[in-house]
Amino acid sequence: MMEKDDLTKYLLFLEDVFLYMEKYRYRKGMKEIILEMKQLLKGNENGSATDRALLLDYQACMETKPEKAIKLEKEALAQIKEITEDNAHLVSNLHANLGGLYRMNDQAELAKEHMEKGYLPA
């Protein structure tokens, strides 16, 4: 059982568990992880910009409406004010996810723009 006494480690645990659940398409568990993360990240005193970006990315992953998913991915990218060595991979993934959503929404130019940013974070 994971203790909640170290918030940073607990958030990392939740983020890892979400990815595992996503791999097996365990949507019920994914929804529970999102709810727990929302509760922990309420307000700005807990967690980091990366944690908040991941939460928005996870919400976009669960979203059935492409327009809403695009909005969530854009909000996730907005959480990252500066690209660093620590968050470059996340920023790349967010751009790739956004590009994929634009492609699904038949917005080829925006899809191309974000896919390219996914390969080469600015």
pLDDT tens sequence across 83-114: 999 999 999 999 999 999 999 999 999 999 99
Residue 36 placed within a domain? yes
pLDDT above 50: residue 64: yes
Residue 2 placed within a domain? no
Residue 41 placed within a domain? yes
Residue 31 placed within a domain? yes
Instruction: Please check whether residue 44 is in contact with residue 23, taking contact to mean a CB–CB distance below 8 angstroms.
Output: no
pLDDT of residue 120: 59
Residue 19 placed within a domain? yes
What DSSP state is assigned to residue 25?
A: T
Q: Nearest CA to 93 among 108, 80, 106?
A: 80
Residue 1 placed within a domain? no
CATH number of the domain within which 100 lies: 1.25.40.10
Q: Residue 56 belongs to what domain range?
A: 7-119
Sorted by sequence, the CB contacts under 8 Å of residue 51 that are 6+ apart come out as: 11, 15, 37, 41
Domain count of the chain?
Answer: 1
Give residue-wise pLDDT tens across range 8-53.
Answer: 999 999 999 999 999 999 999 999 999 999 999 998 788 999 999 9
